[in-house]
Chain A
Amino acid sequence: MKRVLIFGATSAIAEHCARVWAARGDELYLVARNEQRVHAIAKDLKVRGAANVNTYCTDLNRVERHVELLDVIDEALTHIDIVLIAYGTLSNQISCEKSVEETLSEIKTNALSTISLLTLLANRFEAKREGTICVISSVAGDRGRASNYVYGSAKAMVTAFASGLRQRLYKSNVTVVTVKPGFIDTPMTAKFKKGPLWTKPNLIATRIVGAIDAKKNEVYAPFFWWLVMWSIQSIPSGLFKRLRL
């Protein structure tokens, strides 16, 4: 039995990962903002086979509370095998362009608060010399595009930070997995029309849990996004700036 701690447990991707772990009989620790929803998820995971489910309600945007939160979970944390950081918001690019405040707030949610958690968790995992930290970044972080560069740049920071952390923690036997999902059909993307590139969160979850099991470094989810992003990154900037992607 594994012990898994999930930040942003009500996100569709996190919830489906939790279902995979629950079916295996693992023990889950869920951190989320919405109390009603996280309780519904906890009940669900128990029926699906989780050995035990613990919930913590907090707004992870309040970075100053992270230390206190980890202290509360501390007892459990010494036994945690896997951490999944999965929360985020899909920024509204147009309104971000008109508001510095909104831009910075989106970057705080999608990058800074994640980095705060990663910093605190890294030190604890480094000390115990085992475990896996998995962070959900995005294909949007691979190259800034006009349509969502605020979200994209925040995710780029997460990807780069996790890459550095992976190198640092390698010698402490701690794995850092970066997952870059493509288009996933979740409440966050409900307003988009879905084409053939879209994937359901349950399929992504299988990929993520598999990547954690196999101690992968960086994975695209689904895998074909590797090719899509490789192509996008290969376009020379002189041409790229003229495109609408």
Chain B
Amino acid sequence: MTLTTTISGWGNYPQQEAQLLTPSSFASLKASVKQDGDLIVRGMGRSYGDSANASRVLQTSYYDHFVDFDAKTGRLTAETGITLREILKVIVHSGWFLPVTPGTSYVTLGGAIASDVHGKNHHTAGTFGQHVESISMMLGTGEVVTASQVDNLDLFHATCGGMGLTGVILSATIQLIPIRSSFINQKAVKADCIESACEALDDNDSANYSVAWIDCLAKGKHLGRSVLMLGEHAQSGHVEINIKDPICVPFNTPSNLLNSFTMKTLNGAYWQKTRHNQTQKVPFIPYFYPLDAIGNWNKLYGKPGFLQFQCVIPKYDGIANMRKLLLEIRKSREGSFLAALKKFGEANNNLLSFPTAGYTLALDFKLTESAIGTLHRLEDIVVGMGGRVYLTKDAVMQEANFKTTYPNWEQFESVREKYGAIGKFRSAQSQRLGLA
């Protein structure tokens, strides 16, 4: 069944008219893939920019079945339209957890693999793709193949982080991690400037989970004032899961709701409220997914939508460079009031995977003409520092910057050529970035 409708990513920009295909059987899925025309797979539409935009979009909503779960070994196989939230509802009870989770549980398994997502434990656990044992995928020809460390290794490394450009990921087997409790022991560490935030991240390399929230309204000697949130799975307690449906923002709110006065007050209050070295035992849901409590928080940015910028810059000179970036963002007066800062571990072998050793910074920009210019400027600065921008968040990256900072793109293209993906799987993003 098809429907022509307007689609966009989570940032609501850019939008595109698309034929939406929602196959509910293998036969109709195969027919959709074999039909002529550009095609991209879409899960929950949570990538921010245009990576799941195309003239034909294959929505995997009805491919959301568990295939197998061994509660003894923690091996899970599921179709890739299932969300991480649905997976959590089943596995947490039996004492298992996702090895890596992004900041929302409303992403599909397929999306997590295609974006090779990372979480607060990147420095200890790597990316999501590093915990995938094998994937079953449909190529552009309609043929179904397995990709893993053993079979079609080149396809495996191109598909994890490959933004859906290699084929349709049908199902995947992942290895979960054992937990004794569904609670997280959270420790807050206050850092009053960017230098001490980065140093605190370095000092806490042994923490399983770590992220710093930067108050972007702090300036001068307090530039980069942050609260680090460290976390460990609690060793005692019990497993429980209390997943509630979110409160929804029913419509786009006036976009000046989030103005600098309200946010300055909120950020200031948060800083005051947080006690240094304060420890708390919190359920995992608010710890990992604070924003999931509000259904469509993206609508808080109003109708025009927003851009998200996430970059990584190398460890070398990283702290000084992070200050330069924050200054540049402050100068633009366009960035959001909060930013996330995190330290990445080493890069993996996946061809287009984003994380590399260094510091990563993520923040939102309300969409305006000048914000696009600001993002281009930031992008150039990051490229100059030897860093790069995350494809899953991107809506505006320039082709030259992509090709410089993702040097494996040519190898990626040759894998796509080999497996019949070229001329078939394409997104607005892949075209913008000059992929075939």
Contacts and interface: CB of A to CB of B under 8 A. Distances in A.
Given A37-B25, A47-B69, A12 B3 contact: no
B304 to A, nearest CB: 21
A34 B2 contact: no
Contacts of B202: none
Interface size class of A (residues with CB under 8 A): 10 to 19
B1 interface: yes
Interface string A7-51: 000001000000000010000000000101100110110011100
A37 B26 CA distance: 9
Contact of B62 (A36, A47, A187): A187
A44 B1 contact: no
Nearest to A192: B3
Nearest to A49: B90
A125 B137 CA distance: 46
Given A12-B62, A47-B68, A49-B90, A193 B5 contact: yes
B288 interface: no
B89 interface: yes
B153 interface: no
Contacts of B68: 43, 47
A242 interface: no
A191 interface: yes
Contacts of B5: 193
A27 B66 CA distance: 17
A36 B66 contact: no
Contacts of B26: 36
B90 A191 contact: no
A190 B66 contact: no
Given A12-B62, A48-B66, A190 B2 contact: yes
B24 interface: yes
Contacts of B69: 47
B92 to A, nearest CB: 12
Interface string B40-84: 000000000000000000000010011111000000000100000
A187 B1 contact: yes
A23 B89 contact: yes
B22 interface: yes
Nearest to B28: A187
A90 B69 CA distance: 35
B3 A193 contact: yes
Looking at chain A's contact residues, the main secondary structure is: helix
Interface size class of B (residues with CB under 8 A): 10 to 19
Contacts of A34: 25
A207 B90 CA distance: 21
A80 B255 CA distance: 54
Given A40-B65, A191-B1, A47 B90 contact: yes
A41 B65 contact: yes
A37 B68 CA distance: 15
Contacts of B2: 190-191
A48 B1 contact: no
A12 B69 CA distance: 23
A23 to B, nearest CB: 7
B187 to A, nearest CB: 34
Contacts of B22: 187, 190
A36 B1 CA distance: 19
Interface in B1-37: 1-3, 5, 22, 24-26
A204 B90 CA distance: 21
A43 B1 contact: no
Nearest to B251: A196
A17 to B, nearest CB: 15
Most buried by B among A36, A37, A44, A48: A44
Interface string B332-361: 000000000000000000000000000000
A208 B3 CA distance: 28
A210 B305 CA distance: 38
Interface in A35-70: 36-37, 40-41, 43-44, 47-49
13 contacts: A36-B25, A43-B65, A43-B68, A44-B66, A44-B67, A47-B69, A49-B90, A187-B1, A187-B22, A187-B62, A190-B2, A191-B1, A191-B3
Given A12-B24, A41-B65, 11 more contacts: A23-B89, A44-B65, A44-B66, A47-B66, A47-B90, A48-B66, A187-B22, A187-B24, A191-B1, A193-B3, A193-B5
The 10 closest A-B pairs by CB, nearest first: A190-B1, A47-B66, A44-B65, A187-B24, A47-B69, A44-B66, A190-B22, A191-B1, A40-B65, A191-B3
